[in-house]
Amino acid sequence: MMILRHTMTVFVPSTIGTRHATEVEIDGVKDAVIAMLVAEFGGCQELTPIAGYWQSATGETVKETNYPVRSAFAEYNADIDTLAAKIAAYVKDAMIQEAVAIEIDGVLYIHE
């Protein structure tokens, strides 16, 4: 039996900057995140989309759908932090985000 005590959830946004992204744009980023998680952990799950709100640098409150993608893994080590930073940098660049949220073991990390 395999026991996977740890989880990483990447929250893929649905905006590019402050404009709403197309389904094709969102799916492209989700697919890339999924590929990175599968390559590292052997699998992942796309969870139910959630509503998210954030304040932009101009003070505007932006509402958007977030698409959580989660993987489970057996051991937590420094490589997990490196992977999270790599995924966050990709999502931040691809979606033109001020910050990207990744949750590891129930702790939310905001990558700016």
Length, in residues, of the chain: 112
φ and ψ at residue 74, rounded to 5 degrees? -85, -45
pLDDT, average across residues 24-40: 98
Q: How far apart are CA 27 and CA 33, in angstroms?
A: 10
According to the model, what pLDDT value does residue 58 have? 86
pLDDT, one tens digit per residue, over 45-90 is: 999 999 998 887 788 888 899 999 999 999 999 999 999 999 999 9
- Domains defined along the chain, listed by start: 6-111 (3.30.70)
Instruction: Tell whether the model's pLDDT for residue 5 goes beyond 90.
Output: yes
According to the model, what pLDDT value does residue 57 have? 78
